[in-house]
Every structure is written in C-alpha cells, then in structure tokens.
A = this chain, B = another copy of it.
Amino acid sequence: MTRPTIEFWYEFSSSYSYLAVMRIEALAGQAGVDVAWRPFLLGPVFLALGWNDSPFNIYPPKGRYMWRDLARLSAKYGLAFRMPGRFPRSGVLAARVALIGNQGGWVAQFSRAVMSANFAQDRDIGDPAVIMAILADMRLPAEEVLAQATSADNKLALRAQTARAAELGLFGAPSFRVGDELFWGNDRLEDALDWARGASAPVLPG
C-alpha cells in the first residue's frame, strides 16, 4: 500500500504559512501521510484577484486582527513569534532556493529556518545574505545553491509552479491539496490530514 500524500502550498512571506510550515512535518508524520512541499508566490495570485498588496495591508481591520491572532496561535502551538518590522517581505529568493531543496531533500528544514527568520527573528528574508547564512547554518554550499536557485531554468520552474497554483484555484496560503480536494488556511491542516488518511472523505453530503 502506498502512503497517502498531501500537497502543501505555501509562501514564505505569508504569516499563516509560518504556522503551517512549522507544524506540518510532525503532524503528517503522526498521521502517516507524506508531504509534497510546493512553495509558490502569492503576488501573481493576489494580482489576479485585484490586490496589489497583502489583503492584510489593504484592509487594516483584518491586518490588526491577523497579527493578534498570529501571536495567540503561536502561543497555543508553542512557537516563537516576533512581529516583523516589515510585511510582507519578498519570498521570491527563498522560494527559488526551496525548489532546489526539494531536489536535495532539505526543503522542510530550510523552510522552517526561513519562516523562523521572518516571523520569530525579524530578519529580512528578501536579503540574499540572510538566505546564505541560513544555508551555511545547514552546512550546505550556500554560493552553489544560490547559483542554482537563480538560474534561468529554476526561475522558470517557480513561475510554472505559481501558474499551476492559480490553475488549481488556489487564492491564498497556506493551502493543502489531497487528490482534487482543496483546503485553505493553517486551521485546515488537521482536516486535510484526516482527509488524506481517508478518515473523513466518505461522509460528505450533497
């Protein structure tokens, strides 16, 4: 029997993606579900919805609430949290590097380190020096990885992955896919894993 898989779509600049990136590996492991990491860019997805900035910036009451909610949820999950000095920060370089990490088997660890930098340490993840420091901490050849990440082929790969997200009907991050079933938001992670395990699929009404 093959293990079920959950596709995990996330964006490094997204606040609720922080919570999901930090939580998913342990929860999926307990559920016996494999994780397919799918970093993508929210910018083009939001533009298609008519937003040229994070909706948390466009709608101030939503933004104020989100930061408070994030602090509460971080406490609930036992995760560190520090209000970033800037939001959103560019997640483009981190996403490009994460695609390389997918091939190298270190995407999960790298993603957690970048998310912690952004939302627990208030470091600028858009700065190549920060990404290189993270890679060096992981004992990876930082310059080589960065060169691969910024190659024309890899840039194209991230663009294709982002186009695929829009094609699949994604409109925010984090999102989870199990087969054709879409789940949106950190608070749906447990439901998506239940679905992957086949625990909740058969009971759906009309």
Q: Give A residues with C-beta under 8 Å from B.
A: 49, 59, 61-62, 64-65, 68-69, 71-72, 74-76, 80-83, 169-171, 182-185, 187-188, 191, 200, 203-206
Q: Which of B71, B183, B204 lies in contact with A205, CB distance below 8 A?
A: B71
Contacting residues, chain B, for A64 (C-beta < 8 A):
169
Contacting residues, chain B, for A205 (C-beta < 8 A):
71, 74-75, 80-81
Contacting residues, chain B, for A59 (C-beta < 8 A):
49, 171
- Across the interface, do B71 and A169 meet the contact criterion of CB distance under 8 Å? no
Q: Which of B81, B187, B200 lies in contact with A72, CB distance below 8 A?
A: B200
Contacting residues, chain B, for A191 (C-beta < 8 A):
72, 76
Q: Which of B49, B65, B82 lies in contact with A171, CB distance below 8 A?
A: B65
CB distance from A152 to the nearest CB of B (A): 30
Query: Lowest 10 A-B CB distances belong to which pairs?
Result: A61-B171, A187-B187, A75-B203, A75-B204, A61-B169, A62-B171, A49-B59, A81-B205, A75-B205, A65-B184
